[in-house]
Structure 1
Amino acid sequence: MEVESKVLLSSDEVDAIVLRLAALGLHLGQQETQRDVYYKERGFRENVQGPGSYLVRLRYKESGTILNMKRLTESDGTWEENETRVDDGQIVEEIVRAIGAEKAVTVTKVRRQCLRDDLEIIIDEVEGMGIFLELAIETVDEPEKARDRINLFLAELEIDPSRIELRGYPTILLEQQGVRFSVK
């Protein structure tokens, strides 16, 4: 299960966050471009997406291609998640389309990240959306504890809790296209 939070940043804030991270001994890695192609079941745009709804993602990046399935839970910002590396993403996309899924959205971003224990600290420059700080923790059975740790780290970075975004990039983009989501 992945628990995540995002905060939209201005370009000035990015520099301040990088400095705060450095003061904590954390240094972001090199930039990496990622292109995420998301698929959903055919006709999904007509239905409210809620707990159990899924996205299949192919992530193309320099270090390889990853197939991922994310399933909504009853908690905003928390996804059931499974992923594996694949040799040929184009073939996987053909298979996904052949079994009836349709392309939902594509998210292209430039990512820099680092780790603090199991907390992923990410700065994403997302095409058409802006620059985001994303914090994520993989957990098996303690999403509440993971959420608390993320919120404590955001406070450590002096980020106002009212700015926290719990939706993922594909959810934000799909909602802009009129797709409805509900965690209830």
Structure 2
Amino acid sequence: MVGAGRTAESNEMYAMCILRYLEYCDNELVDRRDRFPAHPDIVRRFLTRIALLGNGIGAYSVSHFRRFRTALEFWHTTHGLRMNYDPKMWTMQLAAAAATAPAPKPERLAATLDDLRCLAAGIDKCSSFDTAVFAAACAAFFAMARLGEFTADSADKELIAERHLAVANARRIDATSKAPLRYELDLPFDK
């Protein structure tokens, strides 16, 4: 019942964290009786390993690092167990995780009209693929949208009409004396 109040994403994240903890215990040959309830020294070593993955450079952000401990606490709570973990040790480990956490990605420069012109100059206008790429870039630029709203993650994934621009939803507007032939597309639902 306790888990019912959590989102599916939270449950997946917690399951991944518990899986990592169990993998750590397997690799370190931790006795099964010492895994749950988790002994404070084992939790400390596990969290230290998580904080220092990648040659002393953290592989996780501090918020992600916190999730590992929260997942362990949640597991204990749902099973009616108490996790005895020293708050001072947690504070020190959080500081270590913050010091070794990867830097956030630098902000990218915004796309400009010159970028679109450069893209237009480099495409094969007879290629339907190149034309579609340019159309998606233009639509994303002028709609001030994220490119992910206009493209699928991979060729295997299906575009969802409510979330992505779709050719099937394009409306042809014939040319008039005041305007050339054009197509209109509906923007995704969250724009």
Quick check: which has more Rg, 1 or 2?
2
Q: TM-score range by the shorter chain?
A: under 0.3
When normalised by structure 2's length, the TM-score is 0.21
What is the TM-score with the length of structure 1 in the denominator? Answer: 0.22
Higher strand share goes to which structure?
A: 1
Higher relative contact order (CA closer than 8 Å, sequence separation 6+): 1
